[in-house]
Amino acid sequence: MTQTRTATLHRMVLPDHTCPFGVRAKQLLQAEGYDVDDQILRDRDRVEAFKTEHGIATTPLIVIDGETIGGCDDLERYLAER
C-alpha cells in the first residue's frame, strides 16, 4: 500500500489575475502524485496579509508534510532532488 503524500499550496487567484507560478506548482504537485490542499488567496488584502505573516515577498508558498518548501522554483528543486 502506498502512502498518500500531501502538500498545502497557498496561491493567489484574484478576479483579474491568477498567479501562473501557483498554477505551475499545483500541476507539478499533482503530477508527482501529491494530494493538494489548495488554499486560494482571493483578494489583494489577503495576499498581502499572508505574505507579511509568513515573511515572504511572493506567492505561492508550498508546504509538504509540514515542511515549508518555498515557492515554485524551490518546489522544482525539491522534486528534482527526490
Rounded to two decimals, what is the model's pTM?
A: 0.92
Number of domains in the chain: 1
Q: What cell numbers appear for 64 in the block?
A: 509538504
Range of the domain at 57: 5-74
Report the half-sphere exposure of 81 (CA within 13 A, side-chain side). Answer: 7
Cβ atoms 6, 30 nearer than 8 A: no
CATH number at residue 51: 3.40.30.10
CA 46 to chain centre: 15
Is residue 21 one of the residues assigned to a domain?
yes
Cβ atoms 33, 6 nearer than 8 A: no
Taking the C-alpha atoms of residue 49 and residue 9, their distance in angstroms, rounded to an integer, is: 16
Tell me: the pLDDT tens digits for 10-61?
999 999 999 999 999 999 999 999 999 999 999 999 999 999 999 999 999 9
Tell me: the pLDDT tens digits for 19-32?
999 999 999 999 99
